[in-house]
């Protein structure tokens, strides 16, 4: 029997084939094959063949189904023949074994119920272990294979348990981190108002600093324009100005005695005669001052003691 998937696959194949099939392939031979296959199928089901309208598309579909059905039928016949052959071989082998057991006095009728149960148990174990005979070597090999499989299963189970423990540990750590994140989130939510106020203050400060920057830039441009007007050049720097100040101080020290001498002569008249008269006047004043000083000293010395 064909499966539903195989039938749909055949229909898809027929859909492609009928599109690619030339018109000449739609002939009486193909229709006859399809009719013969339909008649055999309906006859096998015990029903009469209904009337069909044969079109190129329907014939292509039915031909694909017929081809697939015949191929599956041939495969099933081959498998059935092989199974019948094996069944005959097994029956012949069973007959030989039964004959041997009868000759040895070990037929099933002569065995006790406990022995029959033991034999059936051995047979069940052999079927369970998927061995062809009940020899000890076969059981040993099967048990060894089963032990290896058990070891593999135990190893896989240990690995799975280890992975499960690792995943459990990762899950615990992830849960702990999630809890920490939740706490941090709550903390940040509580601090939002404080930080918003601080941000507002910073924004105000930035606005003030921006205004100051524009003001300072304007002043800087004004100072640059002023320096340009007064003829400032990059060569006139602080070091040069300090050197000029030191040189000025040295010049002032050198010229101070000369200036003092000049100031003493500024009181003299410009005429020589007048200058001589002024000198004589100064001498008389000096003499009078000395005389006055002598009189004061003399009067101080001659004054009676109190």
- The full set of domain ranges for the chain reads 4-106, 251-302
Whole-angstrom distance, CA of residue 296 vs CA of residue 52: 173
What is the pLDDT confidence band of residue 14, given thresholds at 50, 70 and 90? very low
Q: How far is CA 203 from CA 107, 120, 195, 209, in A?
A: 107, 94, 12, 10
Cα(268)–Cα(274) distance, integer angstroms: 8
Residue with tokens 């003092």: 260
101-137 pLDDT, tens digit each: 777 777 667 777 887 788 788 878 887 777 777 777 8
What pLDDT is stored for residue 284 in this prediction?
83
pLDDT band of residue 268 (cuts 50, 70, 90) is low
């Amino acid at each position: 029997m064909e499966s539903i998937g195989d039938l749909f696959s055949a229909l898809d194949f027929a859909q492609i084939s009928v599109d690619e099939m030339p018109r000449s392939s739609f002939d009486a031979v193909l229709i006859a094959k399809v009719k013969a296959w339909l008649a055999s199928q309906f006859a096998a089901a015990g029903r009469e063949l209904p009337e069909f309208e044969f079109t190129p598309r329907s014939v292509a579909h039915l031909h694909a189904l017929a081809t697939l059905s015949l191929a599956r039928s041939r495969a099933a016949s081959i498998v059935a023949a092989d199974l019948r052959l094996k069944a005959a071989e097994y029956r012949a082998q069973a007959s030989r074994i039964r004959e041997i057991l009868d000759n040895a006095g070990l037929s099933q009728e002569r065995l006790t119920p406990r022995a029959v149960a033991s034999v059936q148990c051995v047979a069940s174990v052999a079927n369970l272990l998927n061995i062809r005979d009940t020899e000890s070597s076969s059981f040993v090999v099967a048990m060894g294979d089963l032990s290896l499989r058990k070891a593999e299963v135990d190893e896989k189970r240990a690995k799975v348990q280890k992975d499960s423990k690792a995943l459990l540990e990762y899950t615990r750590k992830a849960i702990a981190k999630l809890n920490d994140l939740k706490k941090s989130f709550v903390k940040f939510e509580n601090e939002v108002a404080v930080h918003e106020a601080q941000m507002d203050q910073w924004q105000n400060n930035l606005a003030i600093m921006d205004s100051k920057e524009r003001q300072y830039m304007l002043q800087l441009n004004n100072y640059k324009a002023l320096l340009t007007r007064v003829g400032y050049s990059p060569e006139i720097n602080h070091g040069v100005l300090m050197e000029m100040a030191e040189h000025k101080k040295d010049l002032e020290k050198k010229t101070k005695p000369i200036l003092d001498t000049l100031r003493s002569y500024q009181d003299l008249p410009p005429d020589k005669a007048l200058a001589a008269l002024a000198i004589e006047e100064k001498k008389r004043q000096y003499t009078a001052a000395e005389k006055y000083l002598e009189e004061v000293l003399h009067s101080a010395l001659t004054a009676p003691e109190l």
